[in-house]
Structure 1
Amino acid sequence: MAADADLVLLNPEPPTWQLHWVQDCAVFDASAGGDTDGDALRAAKALLARRRVAAVVTYEETMVVTAARLARGLGLPGVPVAAAELARDKHRQRTLLADTGISPTRSHLVHDLDEARRAARDIGYPLIVKPRGLSGSAGVRRVDEESEFDAAFDAALHADKMGLESEGILVEEFLEGFEFDVDCLVHDGTATPVSWARKIWAYDPYPVEAGFITGHGTLGRAEMTEGFDLACRSVLAAGIDRTVAHVEVKMTPAGPRIIELNARPGGDIASRIVELARGVRLGSLLTAAALGRAPEIASSGDRSAGIRFLYPRTRQRFDGLAEAPTLRARPWIHEIGELRPRGETVTPPPQDLYGRVGYVMATGPHADEVEDRLLLAHHELRVLGS
């Protein structure tokens, strides 16, 4: 982003690494129960007294609604508030997409166990239980039979909200098929697919995204035509604008269906993997969307890249990743990193949904080859400790 615009940063905590990339910054109070929007607006106005600002944008899930309200309060371009709020509310998403016929999925919003059981009987098994407004698959589980339902509902009800608002639980039909991500650049009533990824799943029946792959060979023709078209129509129907919107799509036997809409780009280091595979910089595209500029999308089409996250097998002390010298010397290994301090106690999903301790990035000429290389790396890079 800093390569394409002068940035000023409004942050909920004192900035550290960001200081190298921004022209100015201010801190606001985002503590639970505080006047987050009011404090952000006051801090932003102090920034605007020192710097000219042309638009407001965020790539952080927890800041989507705050950024939209801030843009409205300052009279600047940004994601419309109604669209930002809808992007944080899976029930409203389902209602909009079903009412417009864009992506009908059977879904019930419930608030207690008796109501949830009735919804489950109406939908039938297998089904999905998920919190209304969380992210990163927090509290989400596929339930295959009635005996598993109560525990799944309780887990969704008590999932860590991580500062997000989430009132109620969704009980939904389970959609069979192949799920993928697509990021759409949205501005002035147009939506353009700019990035897409094949997901790597782990810890079934919990939908933990343990990695993803993008670039050449990632998706088939149906995903890149019908799926992309549905993603673009959905973000426009939701009123999302002036951002890169991250959309989760599943190709089912009945055609593509929307799993989730987000009013910010994909996370999990997605921007680095996309640039590594296709030469496309999501930060530049996010800047273009925020400023209302026509995007410049020049993509290379003969390369693929992916990332796989590494988890401990059980609760343990983390002593690093295996040396695996032969693997680390491979030319297609782009990067291996550790995400937790050595000596710390770590726990795998589903007990700790964010229990990643490391990652590996790999490249190759085709997505299938990258997937095989990531599988090999996942086997070789054992998590050490006891």
Structure 2
Amino acid sequence: MARALIQLGGTTMGSSLLYVQAAQRLGLQPITLSADPTRYDHFAAKGAEAIRVDTDDLDALIRECSRLRATYGIAGFTSAADSFYATASELCRHFDLPGPNPEAIEQCCDKYTQRQLLAASGVPVPAYRLAANAAEVENFAVEIGLPVIVKPAVGSGSVGVRLCRTGDEVVEHTNYLLGGQHIWRSEPRILVEEFAEGPVYGADIMGNEVIAICSSDFGPPPHFVYRGCTYPALLSDDEHERIADVSLSCLRALGLGWGPTGIEFRWTKRGPVVIEVNPRLHGSPTPQMVDLAYGVDLITAHIKLAIGEECNLRKNHSRTAAARFLVADRDGTLDWIGGDSQAAAVPGVAEVKFYVQPKTTIVRTGDYRDCLGHVIAASSNLPRTETILQRAIDLIGWSITPFPTVDEQKQCAAPHLPD
């Protein structure tokens, strides 16, 4: 009987496809359960199977997996997405397969609960308050002191996250979040946080081992759209040790330590301050860069843990890998995007990936959805990697036709009168 790896849901930027491909390399049949299989490109992977099922209904998932056991030996469960990872851990428990603690995953995915647990254990975090309505958001912003971060208590990908420098910006963004434009996955609750200023770093962890630490940078405020990422981060031994120590403190505080964890930091005057702990791998292109920089395949390691096998986390080499995201510069209709084949041919370029196709409607939202694609490069040192990356970026281009203005729309709609 064939052994299957069951994956819940998916991601639109490639991590789920990497899980499918890694499962196939391990001789497993990848099966993805999703409420909407058409949303994700990995369902088209050769030999992959996709089944439509309500991923919010645990009983429905259990019934479907029980049915699958008549055909497959279920080797394990996993997910590449926050919103499904807790459910995947519930399935691990139900079918007595390896996996993380579902309660730990649930409380980690709630940013307020996560903040409380970290702070109670002495882990450095920004000052924070939880607000249930607009008046509380305004009061807490004054209490913490401007500027502040205003964001949903549950979510990912910087969706709904904004830096507010003035009281008017706090009111504007709160009205946006509570006014029906933001899609809430649960009861509306808003986190108001101190703005921790400083360089951004990320730690990639498997089990209780810090595998890699990267440096990242964002586009201009008030939003937090990733522009690039580099492995390894340029840190002194002391700085590296401090981030690693705080990372392990996060695991203990949150009851994590099985499988992957991704942690984001800001290095402030206090040293490393934890911005967010994700009880999963950081999304693509992080796994590819860790593999390029160190020879550690985090996705294969995660799958091996999920199916009860020993994983290999030994570093095979030391290189510099970097990625640059291609970010939309305006709203409108994407006329064309190209240069990927030329960029991919540059020596040292490891991957060029576009997330969108021509004729796509582009509406910038100030989060991960503003990214049109990415380029990854790797070499023996940072200057060379940056040169390779820039050479590839210079070969890529796109054109976005802005939406017509109100006056242009009126002009087009006006009847044409003969002379």
Task: State whether TM-score is above 0.5.
Answer: yes
Aligned match of 2:277: 261
SS of residue paired to 1:20: coil
Aligned match of 1:154: 175
Aligned match of 2:101: 80
- Aligned match of 1:192 in 198, 204, 209? 209
In 2, Cα distance between equivalents of 1:159 and 1:367? 42
Paired residues for 1:1-386 under 5 Å: 1-2=22-23, 3-4=25-26, 6-12=28-34, 13-14=36-37, 16-18=43-45, 20=47, 26-30=51-55, 36-157=57-178, 158=180, 160-161=182-183, 164-165=185-186, 167-186=188-207, 191-215=208-232, 218-291=234-307, 293-321=309-337, 323=339, 330-350=346-366, 353-367=368-382, 369-371=384-386, 373-375=388-390, 377-378=392-393, 381-386=396-401
Question: What is the deviation of 1:62?
Answer: 2.0
- Between stretches 359-368 and 100-109, larger displacement belongs to 359-368
Structure 1: tracts of 5 or more residues without a match: none
- The answer (yes or no) to whether the contact 1:242–1:291 under 8 Å persists in 2 is no
In 2, Cα distance between equivalents of 1:297 and 1:221? 21
Provide the TM-score with structure 1 as the length reference: 0.86
The aligned length equals 373
SS of residue paired to 1:360: strand
- The answer (yes or no) to whether the contact 1:312–1:383 under 8 Å persists in 2 is no
In 2, Cα distance between equivalents of 1:183 and 1:329? 29
In 1, Cα distance between equivalents of 2:85 and 2:341? 42
SS of residue paired to 2:336: coil
In 1, Cα distance between equivalents of 2:394 and 2:182? 30
- Between stretches 219-228 and 166-175, larger displacement belongs to 219-228
- The answer (yes or no) to whether the contact 2:205–2:261 under 8 Å persists in 1 is yes
In 2, Cα distance between equivalents of 1:52 and 1:254? 50
In 2, Cα distance between equivalents of 1:139 and 1:105? 18
In 1, Cα distance between equivalents of 2:78 and 2:277? 17
In 1, Cα distance between equivalents of 2:344 and 2:44? 27
Structure 1 counterpart of 2:53, one-letter code = F
Please tell me whether Structure 1 or Structure 2 has the larger radius of gyration of its CA atoms: 2
- The answer (yes or no) to whether the contact 1:320–1:338 under 8 Å persists in 2 is no
Deviations 1:221-242 (A, max 9, x none): 3442111121122123211243
SS of residue paired to 2:296: coil
Structure 2: tracts of 5 or more residues without a match: 1-21, 402-419
The 3 A distance-change label for structure 1 pair 144 and 167 is same
Question: What is the deviation of 1:376?
Answer: 5.6
The CA RMSD measured in Å over matched residues stands at 2.7
In 2, Cα distance between equivalents of 1:154 and 1:195? 39
Structure 1 counterpart of 2:214, one-letter code = A
The 3 A distance-change label for structure 1 pair 341 and 130 is same
- The answer (yes or no) to whether the contact 1:54–1:77 under 8 Å persists in 2 is no
In 2, Cα distance between equivalents of 1:104 and 1:329? 43
In 1, Cα distance between equivalents of 2:191 and 2:237? 32
Structure 2 counterpart of 1:347, one-letter code = V
Provide the TM-score with structure 2 as the length reference: 0.80
Structure 1 counterpart of 2:100, one-letter code = V
In 2, Cα distance between equivalents of 1:289 and 1:46? 24
Question: What is the deviation of 1:141?
Answer: 1.2
Question: What is the deviation of 1:371?
Answer: 4.2
In 2, Cα distance between equivalents of 1:104 and 1:45? 42
